[in-house]
Amino acid sequence: MRRFSFGDTNGALKSFEGLYNSQLARDGQSVRLTPGKEAGAMVVTMFGPKGEELGAQTLKTDDLLSQAAIYMAPHEAVKHFAERNAKREDSAALLERQTTLETQRQDGRAAADDRRDARTDRQIAAADARAQRTIDAADQRLTRTLDAKGNPNAKPLTVTQQRTNLEIDAAREYISGMDPDEIRRRTAKTTNTGRENPDYDPALARQAGLAARRKIGEDDQFDGAQRPPPKSPAELRKEVTARFNTDRTMNKYRLGKDTDKGTEVLDARGKLVGYYR
């Protein structure tokens, strides 16, 4: 039983097999112990007097050792059971300690995650606050821009904007019914030759300028007005020539090239004397 005491399981079982076959077997029966398919198991095969197999049974090694200890050395059986119980208690204590340590580690990780989540929440809150301040500033800029452009969907017009719209309405009423050619003649500061226009009317020029502006907000009259398409250079030259030919002050002169300043006015020798518009 020394092998059994030292933990030599296979050796102890072989000794038990030999002892059983030599001393404990009855009627010529014998046993044979072989390792089982599963770990910690032994197959006990019984044989008859003539060597015929009577049956087989798979037992756990610990159970088989317990039975062997009881048969061969009861005092060793007590020691075996005590050691086995001690091992089980040690294993249970180790498992409990490992479980406690794992729980503590999980609690520590949870606390760290909570601290990390708190920092993340503060960072997100700060970022949201910065984004909201940016949005508010953009809204204020957009509001000022819409007010300046007179967007009808913006907030109500200010007193200054309403006064400007009233002035535009009054200017349109003032020039309504007047001949467009007369308005152009009296609102031009210079004549076609570049001289000071004696018929210039600054009050009418201001009213005409206001009437041509778009009101702040809705302005159906301005938006729906039919505006003639821009004239080509040839058409503009034709109009300038027609006015030039009917202008008695230009009898001694002739037209030259078109420039940004107007059409050149040349004397009889071809010398540039001014511009005609």
Which value, to the nearest 10 degrees, does the dihedral of the CA atoms of residues 169, 173, 178, 182 take? -40
First vs last Cα of the chain: how many Å apart? 135
100-122 pLDDT, tens digit per residue, is: 888 888 887 877 777 777 777 77
Q: Report residue 2's pLDDT band, with 50, 70 and 90 as the boundaries.
A: very low
Q: Give the pLDDT of residue 141.
A: 57
Q: Report residue 251's pLDDT band, with 50, 70 and 90 as the boundaries.
A: confident
Closest CA to 170 of 226, 217, 199, 213: 213
155-177 pLDDT, tens digit per residue, is: 677 888 888 888 998 998 888 88
Domains recognised in the chain with CATH numbers: 2-72 (3.30.160), 156-227 (no CATH), 229-277 (no CATH)
CB-CB contact of 47 with 21 (8 Å): no
How many Å apart are CA 51 and CA 25, to the nearest integer?
Answer: 13
The DSSP H or E segment spanning 66 is helix 61-72
Q: Give CA angle at 102 (96, 104), nearest 5°.
A: 105
Q: Greater confidence, 8 or 216?
A: 216
How many Å apart are CA 165 and CA 172, to the nearest integer?
Answer: 11
Q: Report residue 32's pLDDT band, with 50, 70 and 90 as the boundaries.
A: confident
Q: Greater confidence, 83 or 199?
A: 199
**In Å, how far are 41, 78, 264 from 66, measured between CA atoms?**
13, 9, 132
Q: Give the pLDDT of residue 84.
A: 65
Q: Looking at the chain, which runs of residues are DSSP E strands?
A: 30-35, 41-47, 53-60, 254-259, 262-266, 272-276
Residue 274 neighbours by CB under 8 Å, 6+ apart: 193, 194, 265
Closest CA to 27 of 13, 43, 57, 47: 47
Q: What is the CA radius of gyration of the chain?
A: 58
Q: Is the pLDDT of residue 93 over 60?
A: yes
Q: Is the pLDDT of residue 6 over 50?
A: no
Which value, to the nearest 10 degrees, does the dihedral of the CA atoms of residues 35, 37, 42, 47 take? -80
How many Å apart are CA 11 and CA 174, to the nearest integer?
Answer: 128
Q: Is the pLDDT of residue 79 over 70?
A: no
Q: Return the percentage of the chain with pLDDT > 90, whole number.
A: 2
212-247 pLDDT, tens digit per residue, is: 888 888 888 888 777 677 878 888 888 888 888 888
